[in-house]
Every structure is written in structure tokens, then in C-alpha cells.
A and B are shown apart, each in its own frame.
Chain A
Amino acid sequence: MSAYTITLLTSMGISVIFALSLNIITGYCGQISLGHAAFYGIGAYTSAMLTQAGWPFALALPVALLLAGVVGLLVGLSSLRVRHDFLAITTMGVGFLFIGIVRKQDWLGGELGIAGIPASGLGKPAFMMLVMALALLTIMLCVYLKKSWLGFVFDAVAEDEDTACQLGLDSARYKLTAFALGTALAGVAGSLYAHHVRFIAPDSFGFVESISVLAMVIVGGIGSVWGVALAAALLSVLPLWFQIIDDYKLLLYGGLLFATMRYFPAGLAGLLYPLRR
């Protein structure tokens, strides 16, 4: 395998984990988040800071997972207070708040970001294998989740929260679970990203990134594991394959978001399995 293919596959795996992490919150549990890149960022910054302080990558990754998950739990608390459109704007605010804070902190690199993040110490091919394995694990976790008792409750909460409460389901607990799970996974993706690219700056975790990952989930089909994984894989490598697309990346993402919502709201999954719906 050439170095190029390895880089490509690594980015792809990271995107798959990241997109699936949002899918748990937005797809399974129906809580829209427009600031998901903040948790990706928390994972990336945690991991970058720790490894620069001399921690091994193997320890930094779980810490990134934990920290992103804990902050995600806190943000999830807001979903108990506000709903629907209000929640969308609140999470968008969280995204802006995150980069606003990072930009002003010199010890986090400020505007310039952090360069020279240590590599994972595995070598590129092995790192790719690790990312692939983690992506596969995430897919399996998502498939399992969807079929589990928890998945059914998420479905109920997404479908109609008030009815779910009437049925005696503690929707607050499940919403928090979804937020904690999803954001922790985003933290993992962020940590992997930091050690893959080895340079991070606030702009990589802004609103545009939040929208890109949302585009993957939407295009793949909200709540569908394979659809989202496929869309994430495609949308993350298309700009790398065709340089020309990279220049018009946002036009493509924006257009796709709109076209998907307008013409086939069920996304790729809806196109591939028309009989199931």
C-alpha cells in the first residue's frame, strides 16, 4: 500500500467514527446538535496536550474519550431544558463558545494552534490498522446499540418524547446517555485526528466542521449505521481524490445537504433499502 492510500484510509476511518458518534445523538436519540465538532476538538486538544507533556498515546486516547464524554454530558444537560430548534441553537452556541475559548488561550496555542504533535509511535501502517479497527468496533457498537433495549428506548424518545415519558421511560436519563456516548466517541475521533495530522488549530473544529459531519449523517440517512458509515467514507475521501472538489467542498456539502433534505430525506440508506421502510 502506498503512503497516499494509507493516509486516505486513515482519514476515512476517523470520519466514520466521527459521523457515527453524531449519529448516536441525532440519529438514534433525535437530539439535533450543530456543535458536534467542539467534542472532536476537545478530544484532539486533550490528546495533543497530554502527548506533548510526555504521556504515551495509549494513555492520552482514553483520557480524550473521558474528557469529551464528561463535557458532552454537561452539554447534554441543556437538552433536558431546551428542545428542538432551541436545542439546535444552543449546541451551535456551544461550538462557537469552544473555539472562542481556545482562540484566547495561549497555553492551547491560541489562533495558531498546536504544531509538532508527537506521532502515535506505531508507524503509519499500524496506525491505519488501529483506526480501521476502532472504526469497525464503532460500527459494531452502533449496530449492537440499535438492536439493544437502549436502542429501542432511543427510538421512542426520538419519535415522541412526551409519549415515551407517558410509557414510564426516563427520557432524561437516555438523552444524557446518548450525549455522553456520542461525545465520547467524537473525542476518540478527535484524538486520532490530532495524531494523524499532527497539527491542530481552532478553525478545524468550527461550525463548518460541525456542518460537514452533519452532512455525512444526513446524506447517509439519519439513524442508519451503514448508510452513515458509507456517506462518511465517501464524503471524506472525495475531496482528497479529486483536488477540484476540495476547492468547492462547501458548495458540494451545502448542495448535498439541501438536495438530500429536499428530495430524499431518508438519505443513502433510504435509496439502498427502499423496501425496508
Chain B
Amino acid sequence: MQGSIYALIALGLTLVYGLLRILHVAHAALFTLGAYIGVLVSNASGSLTLALLCAMLTVGLLGMLMYRWAYQPLLQHPPYVALIASIGLYIAAEELFRLVFGPYGLSYQAPPLQTVITLGNSGIILTQAELAVMIGSLLALLVLHILATRTRLGLAWRATVTDPQMAESFGINIQQVRYINFFIGSALAAAAGVMVALLNNLVEPGMGSVPSYKALAIIVLGGLGNVRGALLAALTLGVIEAFGTIYLDAWLDRDAIAFAFLILVLMWRPHGLLGKAG
């Protein structure tokens, strides 16, 4: 459950990193914003589908804007410049949400999809919302996979990741690829935001902070820019956290377990689980 949401957020981040080599911390701000838009639209219109679409569209466009205005001018500088700018942007955004929407958070007036269903006689009980989140994230992954491997856009994207200059000389419009990339990545973050809001029935300004640092840990763990690695890392981290909190609870809290694991893995494989050196 937690793993599939981590995966969605981490996926957007990996897309951005693969293309631009930027650790996009502000991604989490887009995630939070998506959740807010989702709840607001859903409360106003009563339709969850409309809310999801609205959130993905607005946040996707905003993601493009963010790339144009914030990141593009920084690409010529060393990578830490963009990283620090991104952290600044995220922290400022979190405070802004707190100012605009209040510190206590919002929730759905009539939480949708709360019916409890039992899967056959296997004894697994979950709410419709939980099922929807799992199916939704799997669907998103599938669509993305098809997009990346079967379409012209996917081809252009992979070419740009491998070698931007070569791609450009073959007539690929790199800027366009980057814009689309930011749009898709941000829309995914918004979708994840709406889903998390659905699960917890709560949207609050700080909801992005833990997923953002965790998602960073995940993409680093997977080997930066490596999509399969990120998915593997998301799953592994979910399992490690779950077991860790059972056995190590007396010494470490949940986040510390995740990061201790991260540090150990990086000392063993400095470029992440599936990363390549160089």
C-alpha cells in the first residue's frame, strides 16, 4: 500500500532526474498541491473523477511552469545549485500552503469509496479506496511503460536521457521533451497526492515532507535516474521499514530505519542498487 504510493512519487522524481540530473525536492510541493486541489474540487463538485483530472491538469501545467521559470536557468550551474534552489522552493511552498489553507488541514466532506470489501474467503479486508489506490498506481505504471516503450514520444524521451546532444542532432526537440516530462511527472505527483488524501481523508501542509525525503532516498537507492531500480527500491524500503519497526523500534524510529538502510546500501554500492558507475 505504502509502497505503491512511494512508487508513484518516486517515479515522477526519477523521470525528472533521468532527464535533467536534478534532485527535484519541490516535487513534494506539487504532490501536496495536488492533494489540496483534489479535496477542494471534490468537495465543491462531489465528483472524485473530476477532482483527479483537475488536480493532475493544474499541477502538471504548474510543473511545466516550474521547469521553465525555476530550473531551466540553473541547468548551466553545478548540480547542487538546483538541489538547494529546489529545497528552498519546497520549504517556501510548504509555508505558503500553511498560510493559504490553514495549518490544520482539510478533509473530504463526504469521503468517497469507503465501503469495506472482503476479497473472496482469503480473509483480506480492505476499503474500496485502498483497492482503487493500488489499481490506480498499477495502471499509471502500465500506461507509463507503454508510453516509454511503444510511442514516438517515448523513443524521443529515452534518446534524450541517453545522450541529449546526440538526440538534438537527430532532430528531437529537447525542450519539448523536457516540458512533457515535467508535465507527466507532476501530474503523477498530483495523482499520488489525491490518493493519499483519499486514504487518510486528510490534507495538511506538511504531508509532503516525509514522502519527499523518502522518495529522494528511494531514487538514490535505486540508482539515480533508473526507473526499474526506483521501483525495486520502493518495494524494498517498504518491506524493510515494516520489519524494522517491529524489531528495531526500541532504538530507531521509522525514518531513521529507512535512512540507516539507505546509508548501508550506498556504502556497499555507491551508485545505488541498479546504478552504473561513472
Contact = CB atoms under 8 A, between A and B. Distances in A.
A93 interface: yes
B179 interface: no
Interface centre among A78, A97, A255 (most CB of B within 10 A): A97
B85 A257 contact: yes
Interface in A70-103: 78, 81-86, 88-90, 92-94, 96-97, 99-101, 103
A84 B79 contact: yes
Interface stretch (B51-59, B188-196, B261-269): B261-269
A250 interface: yes
B240 to A, nearest CB: 13
Interface residues of A, number: 43
Interface string A35-71: 0000000000000000000000000000000000000
A96 B23 contact: no
B62 interface: no
A268 interface: no
Interface in B31-77: 70, 73-74, 77
A137 B214 CA distance: 39
Nearest to B88: A257
B95 A248 contact: yes
A277 interface: no
Interface stretch (A3-11, A139-147, A211-219, A233-241): A211-219
A105 B256 CA distance: 13
B70 A262 contact: yes
Given A84-B80, A86-B220, A262-B73, A207 B213 contact: yes
B89 A258 contact: yes
A28 to B, nearest CB: 14
Contacts of A211: 87, 91
A88 B80 contact: yes
B84 A96 contact: no
A100 B253 contact: yes
A126 B155 CA distance: 68
B217 A254 contact: no
A81 B92 contact: no
A130 interface: no
Interface string B234-278: 000000000000000111110111111011001100111000000
Contact of A100 (B250, B252, B267): B252
Contacts of A100: 252-253, 255-257, 259-260
A218 to B, nearest CB: 6
B204 interface: no
A92 B213 contact: yes
Contact of A89 (B85, B92, B95, B216): B216
A175 to B, nearest CB: 14
Interface residues of B, number: 47
Nearest to A100: B256
Contacts of A86: 220, 224, 266, 270-272
Contact of A262 (B74, B79, B224, B270): B74
Interface centre among A78, A99, A251 (most CB of B within 10 A): A251
Given A103-B253, A207-B213, A258-B70, A250 B94 contact: yes
B80 A255 contact: no
A261 B81 contact: yes
A256 interface: yes
Given A81-B267, A103-B253, A258 B79 contact: no
B226 to A, nearest CB: 13
A97 B262 CA distance: 10
Nearest to B250: A104
Nearest to A31: B80
B253 A218 contact: no
5 contacts: A32-B83, A81-B270, A86-B224, A251-B91, A251-B92
Given A86-B220, A92-B213, A96-B258, 17 more contacts: A84-B80, A93-B217, A100-B253, A100-B260, A103-B253, A104-B251, A211-B91, A214-B87, A250-B92, A254-B93, A254-B95, A258-B92, A261-B77, A261-B82, A262-B73, A262-B74, A265-B77
